[in-house]
Structure 1
Amino acid sequence: MSVFLLTACSSNSQPTFANKDNKNSSTQKKAVKASSKKTQHRAASSSSSSSSTKHETTRWNGAKAAALRKFMDQWQQTMDQQYESYTPAKNVNFYGAKYPDELANKTTAVNDQQASVEWSDTGSGNKEYEVVAVYSDAEYVQNMGEHLYIFTLHNGQPEVLITQQNQGMPDHLIHFKQTENKVLSTGFANIIKGQSATAPTSSSQSNSQKTVSIVPAALKRTWYGYDDDGKLNTVTITDDTLTAGGSKIYLHTRDNNIDPSQEPQHDDWGNASMGNIRGIDFLNVRGWNQTAGDGEYYGVKQENVAGQNIDVMVEAGGAGAWCSQTYYASVDLAKKQQGQKYDDITYYDDAD
């Protein structure tokens, strides 16, 4: 932020001690004027600098950090997860990388591009991403499905980044992307603005409105899969929830004759149904208020790999339920089968 220095003009009147009969009076006048300018110049500079610092530190402070902690306490309950806050005084061990100290090692990539980042207590600095908070569930997750969130000011704008990367990449970077969880990103943005942030609980956790699960037993677990860019993604499916890309959807069923646009708005509900397509029993999930589109499909198919039958979870979409990615029951298996295509699965590449 630029600091504007204001230089005051000295008065035209003589200083009270000036003696018109003194041959040095002219010199004294000039000295006093110069001194007055310097004094006022320093005062203006100090005032402007103080004002600038005050403005910058309002981006992030202790009160906003406390508001984020309170918000995260609420939000983690809606996700059925447990998170801790981490600072330079208390790092988290995220698959061997210590955060937030790792930020100083220039290993951060955002959307596959190396980014300049740093920890900032005020939210101000000269980096592209100023990190003001770090949250992770690493201490509570045992199945290689850990999440790491960094709360940043990206060129001054609030942005929440997430990674689930659990092993080294060829470029030696740790890859983050912007969270798809709208509740989380909106809550953080409100806190930055000095507004209140509350995570919804009643609508998403109302047992009286949840239906008997239609999810097949074969789908109920955490699945791991590498996408075309080599990034590990996870999908967790339970009786009545589906968590993918950092967002959790609560599964419900309804009469398909009901107009979704007339239903009460529920951003974190999904309309679930089952159907068999090309021999795969697919769970189809659409937004509760979605009026167009085909939603996402999730189904399990057995494939023979090295003489053994393994479960392959097919994630599909589009009008033809075309496969967009395959997932596996373990990270190791997902790594071994990375990029593998199966003859009896119809992929997007096969679509007419």
Structure 2
Amino acid sequence: MLSFAEWFESTNGETLTHERVTPTDLGEYKSYLLINLKRTPSTVNLSFVAIANWLDFNGQNVPMPSYVEEVRSAPQALERLDRRSLTRAVERVSIPRDIVLITLMLNTGLRISEEAALDIDDPIIEYFGVTEPLLDEPFPALDSQVKKKMEKEVLDVRNAFSGTMILVTHSLEEAFRLCSNIAVMDNGNIIQLGAQDEIIHQPANSTVARLTGTENIFDGTVIERHGETALLRIEELDCQLTIPNTLKQDKLSLGIRPARIIVDQDHCTRTEDLVNQFPGRIVQTIPAPDGQIVYIQLARDDPDSLSNNSTCHTGNVTMIFRLMSRSITENRIIVCFNLGIFVR
């Protein structure tokens, strides 16, 4: 009331009494609070509640201006550093329940009271024309131990849930652990949908192959067909490979996944009945937690003629493989690999 009394006296040049207050005074005071003092709607409304009570107490019936509507703004997303600080603070407590709650809040915008009221069938959204629970990148910047705990929580929920859940992720390993079917997207479009094995070993095209971890992709042309097999010429590797005769197109792409390779170091025991085996050499190895990453170049030479400084006839083409073993001691090898064939 003190601020209203001061405004009244400075504006009207007279002392405030309940008999002197008019609707015009109240309307102008409301504008003064909102425009000049930039008071919030709730503050303005509380001020007029106090004025109305004072006038009513003194038996003065003056029409009050309308309440100011309060416009609630949407919750603001946390900045990356704030999200990281909050996530780290919860991780230090190491209570899986709290970690799941905070992660759900950060990714869905739900409040704690709304999360507490959730039932197993409640988190429903519209996504790609269907109504399903969505987990949008639910494990950001988590250390491996916390991530494993959270993945187990998600798996428990998934196993108890009778419907379909959608997980959005950029991690192929994460998708394999949590999903039975995978949809591969590129530029906002689903370019292949299928079971895990189908997506990995039967990619629809080279884009799917690259997005699902096939690092060795080469274009080729079918030059011969014989029943169930065909001969694919790879100019980049300067070699011919035997492939299943399942695709009608002659212009195909060849994909060799990093894990699909057989390395035979015992050149004297090379088996002649294996197809797609070639001499080669290891040009670089990088240690990995479960083995090593090996960079290999193929050569048309006989393996016994290769030396440490020999030049491969395939130029600078290098293929990448991941081997579980760390026992490779030579750089001269025989490479025999399985192939994935798909339309360019």
Q: Higher helix proportion, which one? A: 2
Q: Same fold, TM exceeding 0.5?
A: no
Larger Rg: 2
Q: Higher strand proportion, which one? A: 1
Q: TM-score scaled by structure 1? A: 0.27
